[in-house]
Amino acid sequence: MKRSQPAVVGDVALLVARLLLGVIMIAHGYQKLVVDGIGRTTAGFESMSIPLAIVSASFVTVVELVGGVLLVVGLMTRTVAGCMGFVMAGAAVFVHARHGVFVADGGWELVGSIGGALLALAAAGPGRLSVAHVVRARPQRSAVAAVPPRPPMPVAPMQEIIPPAGLPTTPLIELGPDGPRPAASMRFPEPVASGPLPVRRPGPPPPSLR
């Protein structure tokens, strides 16, 4: 029987993946910007027939440095993964694909591994151990705290319904050995004396038209 891992295990795994990829990309960007410099990096791009060498070198350096820092802190992870994936695809096409698989021969082994990890991060997101999760969760907590609980609906007290005077009431029926009979405690209401009804006498017949 397979048991699902707790959510914290996945968050820790995403954190480790972000840290490893972020450190690797920061190291490559630092090498291009500080160790080699943009001039030598551009010359190296030109020697590998990469188009727009100065633009490509600057773009790759910024993506590796800034994107590596964003990966480490867990912010804009999907955007950074897309930009870095574009850089890895360009490196594979223009530099490493023709040298085979193994990195010792200059192949695409390293850029392919980085591209796969970036694809997984783009699909899973940075996880809860990230700045992005903290930024998203704070407004939600504030919104929940700002909404007051709804007061309970008032319940109307039960009132005894008393029929108006003069309406006939139904007597209670008691079951006895001789059959049903009216309860002794209930009596039919006494008829209200209204006096004799006036008698309408016929008047004289209408005159004949003949």
Q: Establish if 195 belongs to a structural domain.
A: no
* Residue owning tokens 């940075």: 126
More confident residue, 186 or 114: 114
Q: What is the pTM of this model?
A: 0.64
The gap from C-alpha 28 to its chain's centroid, in whole angstroms, comes to: 37
**For residue 44, what are the domain limits?**
7-132
User: Which pLDDT belongs to residue 7?
Assistant: 82
For the chain, the maximum distance between any two Cα atoms, rounded to a whole number of angstroms, is 140
Tell me the average pLDDT across 115-131: 94
Tell me the average pLDDT across 162-189: 55
Q: Establish if 63 belongs to a structural domain.
A: yes
User: Which pLDDT belongs to residue 6?
Assistant: 72
Question: For residue range 69-119, what is the model confidence (pLDDT) as tens digits?
Answer: 999 999 999 999 999 999 999 999 999 999 999 999 999 999 999 999 999
User: Which pLDDT belongs to residue 167?
Assistant: 58
Q: Establish if 25 belongs to a structural domain.
A: yes
Give CA–CA dist 146/184, Å, rounded. Answer: 64
How many structural domains does the chain have? 1
Q: Establish if 96 belongs to a structural domain.
A: yes
Q: Establish if 36 belongs to a structural domain.
A: yes
- pLDDT confidence band for 155 (50 / 70 / 90): low
User: Which pLDDT belongs to residue 191?
Assistant: 54
Give CA–CA dist 166/78, Å, rounded. Answer: 82
Q: Establish if 161 belongs to a structural domain.
A: no
